[in-house]
């Protein structure tokens, strides 16, 4: 008589699901980080570049009524850094520009001459580059090749926003010796027009 050997066989325990190497908490943290990075990248892609004002007759003028210019500290094209406070006591022309902006480049020879002409009277031009982040070497090379004799700073969205949201370039502000904004200009201006305003402040 045959014995039923199946009764003597040990029942195998059901297979346990393999544990994941990532805990639920770590998974949530990772997904949160991915979402944050995606939001930052999308905001950068959607951030509009300044437009270029091509013609002199498109230039717009404005007056800030003597309001104090927003302070800043920015890196310079020569490897240092400058603050607005460094120019206190001088008449300052704060020029927002970019190496890819045609009208901006056409103004530079006039700016070089004006810096030479009025420096000893307490006048300083400060160029704020709105080139893309990562183009610092390109800007520094441009400064050297064009013999720019005034400070060129690397700008960013924060300073552009602080000065009313710079949307078109060139945009230029004139500051008096107390650091107040006397006037603002959008677009290409003649050298004679600049000199008249500068002399009135010196």
What's the pLDDT tens digit per position in 128-159? 999 999 999 999 999 999 999 999 999 999 99
Do 124 and 201 contact (CB within 8 A), yes or no? no
> How are beta strands 181-186 and 60-62 bridged, if at all?
antiparallel
Average of per-residue pLDDT across 110-123: 98
Q: Does residue 197 carry a pLDDT above 80?
A: yes
Query: In 48-62, which positions are buried (b, 16+ CB within 10 angstroms) versus exposed (e)?
Result: eebebbeeeeebeee
Predicted pLDDT of residue 154:
97
Q: Where along the chain do its domains lie?
A: 19-48, 51-201
Retrieve residue 35's tokens: 């979402």
Under the banding of pLDDT at 50, 70 and 90, the label for residue 125 is: very high
Site of tokens 């402040």: 201
Hey, which CATH number is domain 51-201, 3.30.160.620, 3.30.300.130, 3.40.30.10, 3.40.50.170?
Answer: 3.40.30.10
pTM score over 0.75? no
Q: What is the pLDDT of residues 66-90, one digit of tens each?
A: 799 999 999 999 999 999 999 999 9
Predicted pLDDT of residue 173:
97
Neighbours of 155 (CB within 10 A): 21
Q: What is the pLDDT of residues 28-66, one digit of tens each?
A: 666 766 656 555 444 444 444 555 544 444 444 444 557
Element (H, E) at 73: strand 73-75
User: Distances from the Cα of 145 to the Cαs of 117, 126, 166, in angstroms?
Assistant: 21, 18, 26
| Mean of per-residue pLDDT scores for the chain | 82
């Amino acid at each position: 008589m045959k014995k039923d050997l199946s009764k003597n066989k040990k029942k195998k325990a059901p297979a346990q699901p393999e544990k994941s190497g990532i805990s639920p908490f770590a998974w949530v943290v990772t997904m949160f980080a991915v979402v944050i990075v995606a939001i930052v990248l999308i905001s950068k892609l959607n951030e509009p570049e300044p437009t270029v004002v091509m013609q002199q007759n498109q230039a717009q003028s404005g007056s800030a009524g003597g309001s104090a210019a927003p302070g800043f500290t920015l890196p310079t094209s020569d490897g240092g850094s400058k603050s607005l406070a460094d120019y206190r006591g001088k008449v300052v022309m704060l020029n927002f520009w970019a190496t890819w902006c045609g009208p901006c480049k056409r103004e530079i020879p006039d700016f070089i001459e004006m810096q030479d002409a009025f420096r000893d009277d307490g006048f300083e031009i400060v160029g704020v580059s709105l080139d893309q982040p990562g183009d610092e070497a390109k800007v520094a090379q441009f400064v050297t090749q064009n013999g720019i004799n005034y400070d060129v700073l690397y700008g960013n969205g924060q300073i552009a926003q602080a000065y009313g949201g710079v949307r078109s370039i060139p945009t230029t502000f004139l500051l008096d010796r107390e650091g107040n904004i006397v006037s603002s200009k959008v677009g290409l201006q003649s050298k004679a027009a600049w000199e008249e305003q500068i002399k009135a402040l010196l």
